[in-house]
Amino acid sequence: MNASALLWLSVISTGFVSTLATWMFLNKCARRLNINHAKGTLWVQTAAVPTNLPLQELMQYASLVIGFLFALKTVWDGGWIFALCIVLAGLLLMEPVRAWLHQRHLQDITGVIDLALVCMECDSSNKTVLQTLDEASATLGHTEVRRIVSEALVSFYNGATEGEALQRLLTRNSNSVWALLIWTLFEQQQRGGSTQLRSKLTKLMRHRLELHRRALPALEVTRRSLGLSLILCAAMTAYLTISPASTLYVSSLQGQVIGSLALIMLAWIACIWSAHIQTLQRITQ
Amino acid sequence: MNPIPSWLWTGGVFGAATITAFVVLQAAVRWWYGHRSQSAPNGKREPTGDNDSMSRRVMYTLLAGIGLVAVCLLVKDTASTLLSVFGIFAVVPYVLLQGRQIEAQRWNTRTSVAHSLDEFQILTVNRQDNSVLDAYPWLEQKLKRNTIFQTLEARFVDLIGQGSAVRGNRAALERIARELNSEDLVQFIRRTEINSNTNDEREIVSRAAEDIAERIHLDAEITIARITGQTMWFWITIVAALLAAVLIPLRVS
């Protein structure tokens, strides 16, 4: 294969990769663009206002920025195909970075489920809902649950009605277990303790507890795997672009293709893990 | 005058090729959408699902092309040039990733259905009335907020308003459930219509809710086990890729 054919092959392949990257980038931009808001803003005098950009929001673009930096270095060395693949990998990794950042603190609802099980064992027919929650949380001794119930009690002692205090509790803790528990306690209070209702909620809570306990370790392992794969992606890109071995990967077409394949494979696995995290997150909700 | 460096020339040609390829692709996609919307009955826009499948087809073509070129570059100096055709398998990882992303979205719906079915089971136990939910509207709002049944109800009311459905029509409900991409909901609707020996409607609904919720629960456990198993295989792949990247320069030198 002569040099001219190689050059054209390189141009066509980079064109394809770049088209793909541009397509994805524009797609991302289009999804983020709020046309109605933009139209409205254009008519307001204070169109350019300082906005608060928290660090976490900016961190989502870290992979893209790192990708551009490494790509610049590779372009400087003459590896166009590899540079474009690095940018593409950076684009692909934006979603995994976002998923990883949003999943740093696992939401453990085991405490609330335990509270519901304890509440169902208590005799709640002659007590208010808040009283039942207070006694059950004291018996359970779970720090987080105790804090949430104490906040509702403080709100009640400060003059709010029981309904208002519980409404605030549900607003601050939006998981469905709290809503189900409070609803059942109200029903129990009205009907003077229904054995059927008690056994039904206990059964539902046990099912949820079982599922949650199984999903949580898988979620934790996937989250750590994703974090490690992101670090490995950055390390591998650094190895392929700035280490002494980079001459092999940048100087020849085959080297560039092998490096690109390895990098894209890592990025692809990170993307799969990010989808798995979202699945597990929804299962544990 | 100094001659233009070769890398600059390559970059210029690449830039021109990129812009041309992108403009051609955009034009082709726009033409295709326009063609489809004109040929559609009533001149209505195509549903989102068709647009998605169209985008997917464009991506499949692009990835197959990239795969072919990549493998061609790898084997170009060898006698096995025909191996380039295997490059079209570059589509497989993309299809797998798409499958996982669709699965993640589907679990959003399934979890919502499972929670709503739990609430159904509690409701069916309270045989007398719904006085608690009537007394505390915020509680009902919290329970039903963003649930799939709210969407189902809204769409059903919409269809009744348009005259396309009548109240209590099972077929219309099933159609909406399919629009919402929820097979669980379809199954639930069908189960509630069974003419069993029990004439108690609440009992039938309660049993149907329990069965479907149990099925979702089992599927969730299977999904968790599958994800855990796949994680091991992915780690083996990562280690292989890292070792290859490190060993290839050593072997060449």
Each residue's pLDDT tens digit, A109-128: 888 888 888 888 876 667 78
Of B122, B139, B237, which has the smallest distance from its Cβ to A269's Cβ? B237
Average pLDDT score over residue span B151-175:
75
pLDDT-wise least confident of A46-50, A203-207, B95-99, B104-108 = A46-50
User: B94 to chain A: nearest residue by CA?
Assistant: A268
User: What is the overall mean pLDDT for chain A?
Assistant: 81
Residue B198 has a pLDDT of 65
Q: Residue A53 to residues A50, A60, A214, B34, B173: CA-CA distances in angstroms?
A: 9, 12, 37, 39, 44
Contact check, Cβ <8 Å, B224/A283: yes
- Would you give the DSSP letter of residue B158? H
Chain A residues whose beta carbon lies within 8 Å of the beta carbon of residue B14: 10-11, 14-15, 18, 80
Q: Does A231 touch chain B (CB under 8 A)?
A: no
Is the predicted pLDDT of residue B51 greater than 70, yes or no?
no
Of A6, A275, A278, which has the smallest distance from its Cβ to B97's Cβ? A275
Distance (Å, whole) CA A207 – CA A202: 9
Among B81, B85, B82, B88, CA closest to B67:
B88
Contact B10, A75 (CB under 8 A): no
Sign of CA dihedral B79, A78, A9, B21: positive
User: B69 to chain A: nearest residue by CA?
Assistant: A13
CA A227 to chain centre: 12
Distance (Å, whole) CA A181 – CA A201: 8
For residue A133, the one-letter residue type is: L
User: A183 to chain B: nearest residue by CA?
Assistant: B139
A67, two tokens: 């990708």
B41 pLDDT band, cuts 50/70/90, is very low
Contact check, Cβ <8 Å, B227/A80: no
Distance (Å, whole) CA A272 – CA A30: 23
A104 pLDDT band, cuts 50/70/90, is low
Chain A residues whose beta carbon lies within 8 Å of the beta carbon of residue B224: 214-215, 218, 280, 283
Q: Does A157 touch chain B (CB under 8 A)?
A: no
Residue B235 has a pLDDT of 93
CA angle A55, A65, B29 (to 5 degrees): 110
Chain B residues whose beta carbon lies within 8 Å of the beta carbon of residue A211: 217, 220-221
User: B13 to chain A: nearest residue by CA?
Assistant: A11
- Higher-confidence position of A153 and B16: A153
- Would you give the DSSP letter of residue A55? H
Gyration radius from chain A CA atoms: 27
Residues 71-90 of A with CB under 8 A from B: 75, 78, 80
Distance (Å, whole) CA B173 – CA B179: 10
Q: Answer left, alpha or beta for residue B17, where phi above 0 means left and psi between -120 and 50 means alpha.
A: alpha
Contact check, Cβ <8 Å, A19/B248: no
Q: Residue A219 to residues A213, A225, A275, B111, B140: CA-CA distances in angstroms?
A: 10, 10, 11, 16, 31
pLDDT tens digits along A78-90: 888 888 888 888 8
CA distance A48 to chain B (A): 31
Gyration radius from chain B CA atoms: 28
Torsion of CA B206, B207, B209, B210, to 10 degrees: 110
Contact check, Cβ <8 Å, A13/B101: no
Is the predicted pLDDT of residue B48 greater than 60, yes or no?
no
Given the cut 0.95, state whether the ipTM is greater than it: no
Residue with tokens 């029903």: A187
Q: Answer left, alpha or beta for residue A92, where phi above 0 means left and psi between -120 and 50 means alpha.
A: alpha
Chain B residues whose beta carbon lies within 8 Å of the beta carbon of residue A262: 241-242, 244-245
User: A208 to chain B: nearest residue by CA?
Assistant: B217
Chain B residues whose beta carbon lies within 8 Å of the beta carbon of residue A215: 220, 224
Burial of B156 (0-12, 13-18, 19+ CB in 10 A): middle
Distance (Å, whole) CA A266 – CA A261: 9
Residue A275 has a pLDDT of 94
Contact B180, B151 (CB under 8 A): yes
- Would you give the DSSP letter of residue B194? -
Contact B220, A211 (CB under 8 A): yes
Which of B4, B56, B60, B126 is best to mutate for the A interface (most A CBs within 10 A)? B126
pTM comes to: 0.74
Residue A269 has a pLDDT of 94
- Domain ranges in chain B? 47-252
Contact A143, B107 (CB under 8 A): no
Contact check, Cβ <8 Å, A207/B217: yes
Distance (Å, whole) CA B184 – CA A267: 33
Q: Residue A51 to residues A56, B124, B248: CA-CA distances in angstroms?
A: 14, 50, 48
Contact check, Cβ <8 Å, A221/B228: yes
Residues 106-135 of A with CB under 8 A from B: none
Q: Please, where are the H alpha helices in A33-79?
A: 35-42, 55-59, 62-77
Residue with tokens 């963003």: B146
Among A89, A182, A179, CA closest to A129:
A182
CA distance B98 to chain A (A): 9
Chain A residues whose beta carbon lies within 8 Å of the beta carbon of residue B65: 16
A231, two tokens: 């670090």
